Amino acid sequence: MAGSAEAAAQGREPPAGGAARSGKRAAPAGAETLQPAKLSRAELYKPPTSEELSQLKETEDLFHSSLLRLQIEELLKEVTLKETKKKKIDAFLHEINSLLSAVPETPETELTDQAWLPRGVKVPFLQVPFSVKGKFRFLPPAELRVVGSYLLGTCIKPEINVDLAVTMPREIFQDKDNLNQRYHRKRALYLAHIAHHLSKEKLFGSMKFAYMNSNHLKPILLLRPQGKDEKMVTVRLHACPAPDLFKPSRFYPSKNNVRTAWFMEQSAPKEGATESPTPHYNNSILCDTVLLSHLHLLCSAAADFPGMKDGVALLKVWLNQRQLSKGLGCFSGFLVSMLVAYLLMKRKIVKMMSGYQVLRSTLQFLATTDLSVTGISLVKDVDASLPVLDDFHQAFEVVFVDPSGMVNLCADMTASKYHQVQFEAKRSMEILDDRMVDGFQVLLMTAKPMLRTFDHVFHLKHVSKLQGACKKMQLLNELMDRGGNYVAAALPFLVSLLVRGLAGRALLVAHSLPQIPEWSIDAEPPKHKDVGPLLFGILFVPECAASVLEKGPQADHPEALDFRTFWGEKSELRRFQDGSICEAVVWEADSICQKRLIPEQIVRHLLKLHADIPESSICYVGALLESVIRTGKEAFGTGEEAMVSVICSYDDLSRKLWNLKGLPLTVTAVQGVHPALRYTDVFPPIPMKPIYSFHTQIKTKHLLLPSEEKPCPAFIAPLKIICHMEGSGQWPQDKEAIKRIKAAFHLQLAELLQQQHQLVCRPAVTHTDVYKDGYVFRLQVAYHREPLILKEVVTPEGMLKYQDTEESRQLELETLHLPYLTSSLHGLQQQHPVFGSTCRLAKRWISAQLLSDNISEECMDLLVAFLFLHPAPFTAPSSPQVGFLRFLDLLATFDWKNNPLIVNLNSGLTDADYTEIKNKFVAARSRLPVMFIATPKDQWSSMWTQERPSAQILQRLIVLASESLRALEEQLLDPLNSQDVKMVFRPPLDFYDVLIHLNPNQIPRHLEGVDRPLKSFSRGVVKNSSSVKILFPVVDYDPVQCYLQELRDAFSDLALFFYDKHGGEVIAVLWKPLSFQPQPFKVSSMKGRMMTTRNNDLVCVPNVEAILEDFEVLGEGLVKSVEARTEKWTI
């Protein structure tokens, strides 16, 4: 910000009394803006001026905080042009002006005879069909005027465009130039000749052609200065006709100016054929005639109205962040300025308003007005001869008429694009009114690319297929109107088709804006297909998106026929429970993840049926990532069903525990704490029964042990459940005694479950394992006063006092906080059905990056919960993929150093709590964990991130997340390349010092790897079986985890160990740099070290060869090989 203050200081006038400033910049001017002024006592206590009072009042009324006001002022400083730049740009414009008036004339030739154009320039216009009547000669421009945002002061960085209107003299036009693209071709030739002449000049760094807003009928010439100023400004030359050249009534929306016979290249028009109107064509000519009148309107609106300049700049930033301001049919900055002028005319805005008020009023208007139904007009005096709004509504989807009463400013916009703007405006108003959200950050500083905004996106890969679509939908008139541009002609029809087909499922169906890049003046102009793939986005209504039934009208109703033609052979008659017989469409889908993809079936079916677009041209990227959490060999779905059956089994067990007879104390609460019981376990447990031949049996104890000859048995995770017992005076007050009582309870629970419900149980001191329905549940008894008793400490004076101990903290976490978190997140899953799958994708990614041991599962669940509870500026995700992309974005962009992440579970926090948490966080920052997460039940301690991640791991996570997000979005946006989205789940291993390769038959979760092994080992269990009489299976046995624990115990001072617990075949080791520095010899610290002499001193250094040998010895049978990357480090 200092830079902008200096620039402002540079642009100041010299002080009135003294002489003009010398060449050097006066130091005090730059310095005084940055240092607090010393005020005398009288000045300090001076009453505020009326201006200061009104500012304070405004801040209090309008902004939630004075911070918002300051943020907006800073943003405006950043995006507006500095005075020094303006001077440079003005000088550049003067030079262009003098060059343009000196362009030489050319002799008159036929329009089709373009031999006079030199080789280095091609006509920037698609001349199809080529033959056209008329003559052309070049005469120097009659007038040059700067139009557009530069004069108003509303153009914003990073792209500064200055629009220059070049008026073509009247003499070069003939009578019927309004017909058959003659005017457009003259305009293109005029620009081509100027381009050829200016290309000889040294003044320009680059000279390109472009289409104005990607409209093929409107080429413009772009000029940029040379040298380091090339990025500074783009001057856009617009050729426009002499005033009053055409009779305006020829261009009303109902008139035709493109003849079918000419367009179809027929020799004579058909008998009695009527020509249909060409409103878009007419509009494109009229636009050129009103450039100056629009400028006058905006200048008079902006006169003595500083708020307008700021408001328009903010609105442009808002549109840019939402990708709405560029391309064919965009909501451009010019359109926003005209809208503000309209609101000023209608007195919805007054000239007293600040920029922020202008932003709010405009968003409010957009949110509540649908221009595709009720258009608006800037015409002041009604003239009976002008077309009325209804005429415009018949010709265009969105209507906003300019002051002349003839031009529709939204001619190219589709209704779908306007509805997207409207949706964004509604959402933005909600965000501005929500005190819990930092509105500035969310609305103006957060980009909303389509991939992260919409739940599902799909590409139309080959745009050229739209030619066939135009044929199928009989859009010849639209094609003539759009100058042959089949993309623009077919797009509105395609979108309205999808909107109808997805009605009820989708809140919004949007499309990307077709954009054509600029091209050099010696190249052929781009064809219609050069817009590249079109991207469509669908935003779901979460509860209806996955329904398998599309119910139509009753069979005998007249609408039934329409329904049948719309859905084609998919529609069939069905009888419903209420006895009605209706048309209906039923979609095939077995698992939940297939139901989520029903919209894909709808899209493919409708586009094939109505627009002849083959399936191969549609690349649907709604659920590509879900393959990494697939379970089972066959495409069995993504485990949601397995989760539900685990939870049913758990509910049944908890009911049995409640009703157990014969316990001395009753069970007061049963609470699950395992991630599977809150839907966030990456691979949910599958019911299993052991095969005895794969195990060694210990008959006396009814136990099984893993057999040494066979592969390691499948991993069976115990699902932990906390059983709270009621309080009673009989509970002892001594911590050791409590443990014994709990052990007795564990024994008795096992006995009673076996007697009353025939469940196989295995009691232990700290828990009882219960085998039920093929799952193993681990019951742990809890007594509510135990944590308090663990906190008791007797001081040397014999006083009893309470303080947190490690043991009491751990117990509270397990028996109080974890059950609360699990039930809250279980509730969140009921509101947002894709919460669990999003969590699982996020955890799968962290695990694939080998970091799952460095960040707790609960912390990950809370990060994902944040995306669902506080989705602004987006809506809550309705597909796991978009949730995962936003998770990566949150990790990569959240400012962990300066902000706490507040997850408002069950809306337990008020805005006062928010402020208090933030203030305390800032005050105590240095003592708090690097990643601070606050929840309603844990506002100050961030218990889930206390120990981990460390600062280095968090930094690594941020780098990995931003790289993964970039790579993934690049892949998803490029439908023409093959999409192996698993790339971001394969970690780079060249970062590590040693790799320990493991033997796959001893990895129990081998099948969970990101890249599924082609062949795996029989793991000694029957899946999906839930027999009752069995020997107890081996529980919670993962040799790799045991090995890792031993490695960490032995070598944690020398190295860090990383592993992907979901079937990883490699343990990666990173040496700690400090432990490799030579240390003085001490007998006590000789573990893993050896003696050497350095500079005649005895020192210890790590004995790396012995350590690597130890790695192999410790993991005998599990370790395949140890690979030392010695090129990265030396001993």
Per-residue pLDDT tens for 674-689?
999 999 999 988 888 8
Q: How far apart are CA 43 and CA 53, in angstroms?
A: 16
Query: Is the CB of residue 502 less than 8 Å from the CB of residue 602?
Result: yes
Q: Render pLDDT for 25-50 as a digit per residue (tens, 0 to 9).
A: 333 333 333 445 667 777 777 787 87
Q: Which pLDDT does position 1023 carry in this prediction?
A: 66
**Structure-model confidence comparison of residues 280 and 12, the more confident one:** 280
pLDDT (mean) for 402-418: 92
Please name the residue ranges forming H helices in 816-856.
818-831, 835-848
Q: Which pLDDT does position 793 carry in this prediction?
A: 80
Phi, psi of 200, rounded to the nearest 5 degrees: -80, -15
Q: Which pLDDT does position 268 carry in this prediction?
A: 74
Q: Which pLDDT does position 628 carry in this prediction?
A: 85
Directed axis angle between helix 1039-1051 and helix 1104-1114, to 10°? 150
Full 3-state SS string of 350-363:
CCCCCHHHHHHHHH
Q: How far apart are CA 603 and CA 47, in angstroms?
A: 67
Cβ neighbour number for residue 148 with a 10 Å cutoff: 22
Q: Which pLDDT does position 13 carry in this prediction?
A: 34
The pLDDT-based confidence of 994 (bands split at 50, 70, 90) is very high
536 three-state secondary structure? strand
The pLDDT-based confidence of 1130 (bands split at 50, 70, 90) is low
Number of H helices and E strands in the chain, helices first, is 36, 37
The pair of three-digit structure tokens given for residue 822, joined into one six-digit string: 């699990």
DSSP 600-636: HHHHHHHHHHHH---GGGEEE-SSGGGGGG--TTTT-
Please name the residue ranges forming H helices in 433-554.
439-444, 450-453, 466-472, 476-481, 486-501
Q: Which pLDDT does position 1019 carry in this prediction?
A: 67
844 three-state secondary structure? helix
Q: Which of these ranges, 242-256, 460-474, 708-722, 1087-1101, has the smallest mean pLDDT?
A: 1087-1101
1109 three-state secondary structure? helix
Residue 1082 has pLDDT above 80, yes or no: no
Q: Which of these ranges, 7-21, 283-297, 528-542, has the smallest mean pLDDT?
A: 7-21
pLDDT (mean) for 710-717: 85
Q: How far apart are CA 426 and CA 422, in angstroms?
A: 6
The pair of three-digit structure tokens given for residue 901, joined into one six-digit string: 């992440």
For residues 407, 408, 411, 415, the Cα torsion angle rounded to the nearest 10 degrees is: -170
Residue 387 has pLDDT above 90, yes or no: no
pLDDT (mean) for 892-907: 93
73 three-state secondary structure? helix
Element (H, E) at 550: strand 549-554
Q: Which pLDDT does position 956 carry in this prediction?
A: 93
Please name the residue ranges forming H helices in 199-332.
260-263, 279-289, 291-302, 306-321
Q: Which pLDDT does position 201 carry in this prediction?
A: 82
Instruction: Give me the chain's average pLDDT, please.
Output: 86
Per cent of the chain over pLDDT 90 is 42
Task: For Cα atoms 507, 512, 513, give the angle at the middle one, nearest 5 degrees.
Answer: 130
Cβ neighbour number for residue 954 with a 10 Å cutoff: 20
Query: Is the CB of residue 861 less than 8 Å from the CB of residue 825?
Result: yes
Per cent of the chain over pLDDT 70 is 92
The pLDDT-based confidence of 61 (bands split at 50, 70, 90) is low
pLDDT (mean) for 854-876: 94
Q: How far apart are CA 387 and CA 366, in angstroms?
A: 24
The pLDDT-based confidence of 128 (bands split at 50, 70, 90) is confident
The pair of three-digit structure tokens given for residue 936, joined into one six-digit string: 């309603």
The pLDDT-based confidence of 1081 (bands split at 50, 70, 90) is confident
Residues 6+ apart with CB under 8 A from 693: 1020
For residues 695, 700, 703, 709, the Cα torsion angle rounded to the nearest 10 degrees is: -20
Cβ neighbour number for residue 115 with a 10 Å cutoff: 6
Least Cα distance to 106 among 169, 155, 157 occurs for: 169
Pairing of strands 376-377, 400-401: parallel
The pLDDT-based confidence of 639 (bands split at 50, 70, 90) is confident
Phi, psi of 599, rounded to the nearest 5 degrees: -55, -35
Q: Which pLDDT does position 102 carry in this prediction?
A: 84
Highest mean pLDDT: which range of 168-177, 499-508, 1011-1020: 499-508
The pLDDT-based confidence of 1028 (bands split at 50, 70, 90) is low
Residue 731 has pLDDT above 70, yes or no: yes
**Residue 789 has what DSSP assignment?**
H
Omega prior to 796 cis, within 30 of 0: no
Q: Which of these ranges, 385-389, 509-513, 753-757, has the smallest mean pLDDT?
A: 385-389
Residue 18 has pLDDT above 50, yes or no: no
**Structure-model confidence comparison of residues 1096 and 380, the more confident one:** 380
Q: Which pLDDT does position 36 carry in this prediction?
A: 53
Full 3-state SS string of 173-220:
CCCCCCCCCHHHHHHHHHHHHHHHHHCCCCCEEEEEEEEHHHCCCCEE
Q: Which pLDDT does position 1089 carry in this prediction?
A: 76
Query: Is the CB of residue 257 less than 8 Å from the CB of residue 234?
Result: no
Query: Is the CB of residue 531 less than 8 Å from the CB of residue 516?
Result: yes
Largest CA distance in the chain: 116
**Structure-model confidence comparison of residues 12 and 598, the more confident one:** 598
Q: How far apart are CA 268 and CA 270, in angstroms?
A: 6
Q: Which pLDDT does position 66 carry in this prediction?
A: 61
Task: Tell the burial category of 232 from Cβ atoms under 10 Å away from its Cβ (0-12, 13-18, 19+).
Answer: middle
Q: How far apart are CA 534 and CA 463, in angstroms?
A: 7
Q: Which pLDDT does position 11 carry in this prediction?
A: 36
Least Cα distance to 540 among 588, 603, 624, 596 occurs for: 596
Q: How far apart are CA 667 and CA 665, in angstroms?
A: 7
The pLDDT-based confidence of 24 (bands split at 50, 70, 90) is very low
Cβ neighbour number for residue 361 with a 10 Å cutoff: 18
Task: Tell the burial category of 1077 from Cβ atoms under 10 Å away from its Cβ (0-12, 13-18, 19+).
Answer: exposed
Residue 643 has pLDDT above 80, yes or no: yes
Q: Render pLDDT for 244-253 as a digit per residue (tens, 0 to 9).
A: 888 888 888 9
Q: Render pLDDT for 296-334 as a digit per residue (tens, 0 to 9).
A: 999 999 988 888 988 999 999 999 999 998 888 899 999
The pair of three-digit structure tokens given for residue 470, joined into one six-digit string: 């135009």
Least Cα distance to 118 among 171, 194, 181 occurs for: 194
Residue 56 has pLDDT above 80, yes or no: no
pLDDT (mean) for 41-70: 71
Q: How far apart are CA 868 and CA 834, in angstroms?
A: 10
SS3 content of the chain, % helix, strand, coil (to 5): 45, 15, 40
The pair of three-digit structure tokens given for residue 271, joined into one six-digit string: 């008998």
425 three-state secondary structure? helix
**Structure-model confidence comparison of residues 535 and 42, the more confident one:** 535
Residue 199 has pLDDT above 70, yes or no: yes
Residues 6+ apart with CB under 8 A from 745: 663, 725, 781
Q: Which pLDDT does position 281 carry in this prediction?
A: 92
Q: Which pLDDT does position 62 carry in this prediction?
A: 61
Q: Which pLDDT does position 44 carry in this prediction?
A: 72
Residue 274 has pLDDT above 50, yes or no: yes
Q: Render pLDDT for 411-470 as a digit per residue (tens, 0 to 9).
A: 999 999 999 999 999 999 999 888 888 888 888 889 999 999 999 999 998 888 888 888
Omega prior to 713 cis, within 30 of 0: no
pLDDT (mean) for 262-278: 80
Q: Which pLDDT does position 8 carry in this prediction?
A: 37
Cβ neighbour number for residue 404 with a 10 Å cutoff: 16
Residue 829 has pLDDT above 90, yes or no: yes
